[in-house]
A and B are shown apart, each in its own frame.
Chain A
Amino acid sequence: MSSLKEQTQFTNLAKSKFNPKELDWVLSKTAIVSNVETSKKFNMFFSLTPRFVSNEIITWSPEEIKTLKNIYPGFSLTQWNKQDLTRILLMLALAPSVNKSIIEAFFEIAEMKEQVVLYKGLYLLENASEFSNQVAEGIRTNMVNVFDAIASGNPFAQKYLDDEAWNQLILKSFFMDRPLYTIQNIDQGKNEDLANMLQDYVKERWAAGRQVSIEIWRMIVGYLRDDLKQLISERSFEGLEKEVIDTITQQNSPSLNSEYWERIGKTE
């Protein structure tokens, strides 16, 4: 959830990035959407945005980035263009009394890019927590860019998903071959159920003669089972994988902090 102060900060920063003609369009449409009587126009304006606002990628100053990362942890990990900002301003313009019904209905007809922005924007809503079922549903997508919008550089999942949905997100990241280190606050999401499912997954993959992502051990370390220890001792590893396996099998390895795993994720 973002506080009203944070929403205002975000809105002001976003508005400063448009040219006058674009800003006119944005201001007039957000005004219409903010009126509960006419808020149903949200769908149309959200879709028409590319006709009136360019898709230029925004460059942020270091100051701006600092503010934005406070409001939205992970903000700098993904690109934002003017259309994204416009669409998020439209989401923020909806009154919280109607935003859930309007946004959820719009998800049902949203095209690929629209879904991406919707999922990226939810965290900024005052009542973000009310959208956790929607995000849990989003994890079921097979569109990689939509999945990434939820998983990558987006603080929503760790903050609002229950363990079951969160665990599915992590499991599916491996199935879809997505990186783990870009998931916000990943280490806070470690739990024994997840570690067990992942260890079963490692066994299944190894039995089939296939590899696993090295990042998987980040979520397993601390919960490593004896059967896995046994399997590990029977296998030989090379390169980075060997380094990681050696490290996690040592007792109380002090080096296993988030910087370590970030390096592993980026190298893999």
Chain B
Amino acid sequence: MNYIDPHIHMVSRTTDDYENMKAAGIVAVIEPAFWLGQARTNVGSFKDYFSMLVGWERFRASQFGIKHYCTIGLNSKEANNEALAEQVIEILPEFLAKEGVVAVGEIGYDDQTTAEDKYFRQQLELAKEFDLPVMIHTPHRDKKNGTLRTMDVIEEHGISPYKVVIDHNNEETVEWVRDRGYWAAFTIYPKTKMSKKRMVEIVKKYGSEQIIVDSSADWGVSDPLSVPKTAALMKKSGVSDKDIHLTCYQNALTIYGQSGQFNESDWLTETTINQADLHEGNTILRGQEAKTIHFKNPK
């Protein structure tokens, strides 16, 4: 079965991860722009980060037969540095216009400050301007109020819940998010957030409609194989193939496909990967054998 991981921070992952992900059936990933574990201090760092997401990381993924897409946005933590945030907002449009940018994200609230609210709203307006979906990061602290407030603000700005993914849900938030028509994503972490086992229970209870599984793997303890592993556990637990397909592939394609930038044909047509740029410590395949890999239609 093919999988999509619609939330993973590949800049923090190794080439082993890429190889394992490919072997496990992941055909496409979406990398949301986020913070780097520590705050950036100038706008140039953002510019280079965004251009890395659409440049080097896109290329790196292609070398392993995985299609790489991204979302662009100013994350809520760094929105609190207002002087910097102003400059970052200025450069967002030029990146939102780029091919393969499938949403504005991940945006939303962290501490739910006034500054966070201001730049969240500005970016919702950018989503409307560029006709892009929105990927929402829900806060870990005061999650209930943060999630409800996020949805209120989105609706205030006249954005359809059908174009919005609310991520990092739990057993509580999923009810409100689904009742209001949003796509509910679940981050499967080995220790925190949501576990594979709890995820299976959620799918058993709510079915697969507008529910999405992702790994949000980054520089912390996380697992880039969360999506295929959760799919395997679902299968073992008697969840239907249709529900697995929807939660681990199709739903992500449907919501982010609304951008016009995320098309199944991108990875279903034959991909030739020329791993030619190796040798002498030059790039990603140091010391390994040069090879050209042909991936025929993986279905």
Contact = CB atoms under 8 A, between A and B. Distances in A.
Given A142-B282, A177-B290, A111 B99 contact: yes
Given A142-B277, A176-B276, A177-B277, A51 B260 contact: yes
Contacts, number: 65
A225 to B, nearest CB: 22
A109 B43 CA distance: 13
Contacts of B280: 175
Interface residues of A, number: 23
Interface string A141-165: 0111101000000000000000000
B118 interface: no
Interface string B91-118: 1011101111000000000000000000
A112 B94 CA distance: 15
Nearest to B276: A177
A81 to B, nearest CB: 13
Contacts of A109: 47, 50-51, 91, 94-95
Interface stretch (B55-63, B183-191, B217-225): B55-63
Contacts of A178: 276
A137 interface: no
Interface in B30-74: 47, 50-51, 54-56, 58-59
Contacts of B58: 111-112
9 tightest Cβ-Cβ pairs between the two chains A and B:
A111-B54, A47-B97, A177-B276, A142-B283, A143-B59, A176-B277, A47-B98, A50-B99, A144-B277
Interface of B: 47, 50-51, 54-56, 58-59, 91, 93-95, 97-100, 260, 274, 276-280, 282-284, 290
9 contacts: A48-B97, A51-B260, A111-B54, A111-B98, A112-B55, A142-B56, A176-B282, A177-B276, A177-B277
Interface of A: 43-44, 47-48, 50-51, 108-115, 142-145, 147, 175-178
Given A50-B99, A142-B56, A175-B280, 5 more contacts: A43-B97, A108-B51, A109-B95, A112-B55, A143-B55
